[in-house]
Structure 1
Amino acid sequence: MSYKLAIASHSLGRAAVHDLANKLDQAVKYGYEGVEIFFEDLELIAKSYLGGFTPENQLRAASCIKELCESRSLTIIALQPFLFYEGLLNDDQHQLKIEKLKLWFKLVKVLNTDIIQIPSNFSLDEPFSGDKGKIVKDLVEVAELGLKETPVVRFGYEGMAWSPYVSSWEEVWEMVELVDRPNFGCVLDTFHIAAKVWADPTSPTGKRNTADEDLKTSLENMKKTIDISKIYYIQIADAEFMDPPIGDSHPWVAAPNHPPKMTWSRNGRLFAFEDGGYLPVLDITKAFLHDLGYEGWVSLELFSRSMAEYGERVPEEHAKRGRVSWEKLVIALSQKE
């Protein structure tokens, strides 16, 4: 089996705090071959140009990022995240998203990538529907628009563990099958799968009551169900055990309507095999790589309060942590064969 290791640009530090060029330098230093470009990095560069955040400056920023990556022999594997799209009840808001997507088509061409990642909708501001027909219709719309592009633009749909309607890999896969377009696939993430079926950051145990049994069943079903040609890339991350559990008074809670798993995800992720992590990352990664036989891009995606720390050291620390984590994971996987 062969894998190509990537890292998400935000995993190396927040755009508002850390320079993208330095982040990419550290990715190269620690042996990553690719990078997911987080839109926040592109946005910050665009806003630095005269005139601010215009479509023209976004394209100019994309060109800058492409040059930064090409000069370092880094492949851009995707632009993400295209947020809060499917199921919107307001037609005007839906049309604004379609117009934004048309600009994103231009951005990915400039970036020399062909994947736009769409997280399942979890908007706290715009009302959206859980009607399956509506969700599928909206996803078909973007897929068909992507098919008209040259080259074709692909969409990697990813389930957010706290999304009210599409949160599990099973629900994501159902959408992939119902959309049924050659350029519409999925992104699978160890954190979101574990957070959905196994973990509970609001519990003193950190786990659901039937966690182990449910995960085993879910991964067995995954092996029987998913077509690996529809997995566009995978993401790997662990997370901190919450002590105390996340509740309304937890210092990480930004607003009372924030789902606990979202709060946890944004502040407490770790790379696999780091101290404090406890999710069954090894079992889930084994299901991806050994049981399904996936070969392709493996991306390390971290969201953590450590990303916002100041200092040039932060991107290097994160890049190194990710590389050490990956090497430990490879050894552990070889021992499970």
Structure 2
Amino acid sequence: MPLRPAISSQSLGLPGTHALFPKLRAASEAGFQGVEIFFDDLNVLANVYAQERLEDHGATERVGGEKVGEAGESDLLKAAEDVRGWCEGFGLKIVALQPFRDFEGLKSTSDYQKRNSNFKLWLRLCRKLSTQTILIPSNTLQADELDESKIVPALREAADLAAAAVPPVQIAFEALAWGTLVNSWDQAYSYVIKADRENLGVCIDTFNLAGKVYADPASPDGLTSNAEQDLEASIRRLKENVDVRNIFYVQFVDGERLEKPLVEGHPWFKEDQPARMTWSRNARCFAFEKEGYLPVGKTMEALVKGLGYDGWVGSEVFHRDLADEKRETPVEFARRGMESWRRLQRELGVED
């Protein structure tokens, strides 16, 4: 299969600020062939359905006026079914449901059982969405809540549940650059190999790869102390050690070089949050945009030309401007995302 472009639904507008339907329309009109459905978008839609049902029965708010959290199963399943229909109408393939957060390595048995139960719901959502991939980012909970020895068993059990689903589902495990126990693609790949399940692979994200070994938003120049050498070593290991069949998905995105280091005194600084997480949430940008400085092209060349990856390639941007309430926001981000994709095609010499 030739490389095909996808974009994450949250990269077209903040969930809850921008409705999902116009975001999907913007993706389609920009030329994207696929879309990652961000769970928060699905949850917002499901809560709308729940509120409408209450109003149909004469209620104006939820009992007790509690804060709306995760929607109920029936509303989530209805939302998933509707989203599938919308995407079919727009000619979009739903390439993944994501992110299934804070799953692997949980020390508490009860916490793990809750997440495992929720994973089973996600498998039902996949069937409604007609997607066969769930993205699991590495856990970011506190270290005292996690146990490294539980990572492989958790991934293995999730893969077995996914394989038994009808139709079967595959899992793409992604290392976040600020993950507590797993924060590099090497680690994610090693756990996938240890778990040894055909439907368990990795998601390689150019931001998270470079964000670990090359970039440091807390440093004055935005770089790690040995950026170029560590990046070259990481890419060399990628090409030498990875079986491309174990790469289930690729995301390509860049990050802004900050004017000031993201330390105490910076307006985005949060004492209880890793600088890389804060940077990611506020200042990702599409690959090849002038604000970016990560070696996205070099990483993608290694994946596509070095390893022969030829699957879906997704744009996953988190940015402060996604909260802008302007109606044009989804259209603007879709346009920028497609320009980034076209630039990647030119850089790699690949066609539609």
TM range (shorter): over 0.9
Paired with 2:185 and 2:327, the residues of 1 have a C-alpha distance of 37
Residues 51-79 of structure 1: CA deviation (Å, up to 9, x unaligned): 68211011001011101101111000000
Paired with 2:162 and 2:268, the residues of 1 have a C-alpha distance of 38
Paired with 1:75 and 1:327, the residues of 2 have a C-alpha distance of 19
Report if the CA contact (8 A) 2:2-2:311 is conserved.
yes
Q: 2:251 aligns with which of 219, 225, 235?
A: 235
What aligned pairs does 1:174-323 form with structure 2 within 5 A after superposition? 174-253=190-269, 255-323=270-338
**Structure 2 residue 62 is matched with structure 1 residue 45:** no
Letter in 1 for 2:2: S
TM superposition shift of 1:308: 0.6
TM superposition shift of 1:330: 2.0
Residues 108-150 of structure 1: CA deviation (Å, up to 9, x unaligned): 00000111110000025x943242x311111111111112222
TM superposition shift of 1:209: 1.7
Question: 2:100 maps to which residue?
Answer: 82
Report if the CA contact (8 A) 1:185-1:231 is conserved.
yes
Report if the CA contact (8 A) 2:177-2:208 is conserved.
yes
Paired with 2:92 and 2:197, the residues of 1 have a C-alpha distance of 29
Paired with 2:129 and 2:104, the residues of 1 have a C-alpha distance of 24
Question: 1:29 maps to which residue?
Answer: 29
Q: 2:157 aligns with which of 141, 145, 166?
A: 141
Give the TM-score normalised by the residue count of structure 1.
Answer: 0.96
Q: Give the secondary structure class of the aligned counterpart of 2:263.
A: coil
Moved more, 243-252 or 70-79: 243-252
Letter in 1 for 2:47: K
Report if the CA contact (8 A) 1:88-1:127 is conserved.
no
Paired with 2:150 and 2:19, the residues of 1 have a C-alpha distance of 40
Paired with 1:332 and 1:3, the residues of 2 have a C-alpha distance of 13
Letter in 2 for 1:300: S
TM superposition shift of 1:257: 1.1
Q: Give the secondary structure class of the aligned counterpart of 2:313.
A: strand
How many residues align structurally? 332
What aligned pairs does 1:322-333 form with structure 2 within 5 A after superposition? 322-333=337-348
Residues 10-33 of structure 1: CA deviation (Å, up to 9, x unaligned): 110111111211111111111100
Unmatched runs of 5 consecutive residues or more in structure 2: 55-67
Question: 1:159 maps to which residue?
Answer: 175
Question: 2:139 maps to which residue?
Answer: 121
Letter in 1 for 2:73: P
Unmatched runs of 5 consecutive residues or more in structure 1: none
Moved more, 260-269 or 11-20: 11-20
TM superposition shift of 1:248: 2.0
Report if the CA contact (8 A) 1:76-1:112 is conserved.
yes
Report if the CA contact (8 A) 1:90-1:127 is conserved.
no
Letter in 2 for 1:38: F
Residues 59/127 of structure 1: CA separation in 2 closer, same or farther (3 Å cut): farther
Give the TM-score normalised by the residue count of structure 2.
Answer: 0.92
Q: Give the secondary structure class of the aligned counterpart of 2:90.
A: coil
Paired with 1:159 and 1:322, the residues of 2 have a C-alpha distance of 23
Q: 1:96 aligns with which of 100, 114, 117?
A: 114
Sequence identity of aligned pairs in percent?
40
Question: 2:11 maps to which residue?
Answer: 11
TM superposition shift of 1:245: 0.7
Paired with 1:221 and 1:86, the residues of 2 have a C-alpha distance of 24
TM superposition shift of 1:81: 0.4
Paired with 1:322 and 1:298, the residues of 2 have a C-alpha distance of 12
Q: Give the secondary structure class of the aligned counterpart of 2:32.
A: coil
Paired with 1:200 and 1:303, the residues of 2 have a C-alpha distance of 17
Report if the CA contact (8 A) 2:141-2:180 is conserved.
no
